[in-house]
Structure 1
């Protein structure tokens, strides 16, 4: 599955886009000024997204990649 397909599926399932998840991560204190805090690990993000949004592991990792800066909205 392409990264864009992950984002599309996440949007369809949750109604949220990458910007929304960035805002939610900031509210949960996972990020500060748009940057993932060094102490926050992938597992914390995955658990949050699985519990709050019923995302699967791969989809949660896609959001983690966005928050970490590994990928962005234009990544393939």
Structure 2
């Protein structure tokens, strides 16, 4: 699945886009001023629990938060 495919599926399942997840991560203390200060395991556990995302989809959000990928990434 392409990165854009992951984002589309996440939006369909949760109603949230990357900006929403960035804001939620900031509110939860996983990021500070846009800089990630949490480990991948913490992020994926949160997303799996709160949004029922699978591991691959949770890792896509982690990649966004870490800055590895962005909304334009393939």
Q: TM-score range by the shorter chain?
A: over 0.9
RMSD (Å), alpha carbons: 0.3
Q: What is the TM-score normalised by the length of structure 2?
A: 0.99
Q: Aligned partners of 1:4 and 1:56: how far apart in 2?
A: 16
Total equivalences in the alignment: 74
Runs of 4+ in 1 over 4 A off after TM superposition: none
Give 1:1-76 correspondences, 5 Å limit: 1-37=1-37, 40-76=38-74
Q: What is the TM-score normalised by the length of structure 1?
A: 0.96
Unaligned residue ranges in structure 1 (runs of 5+) = none
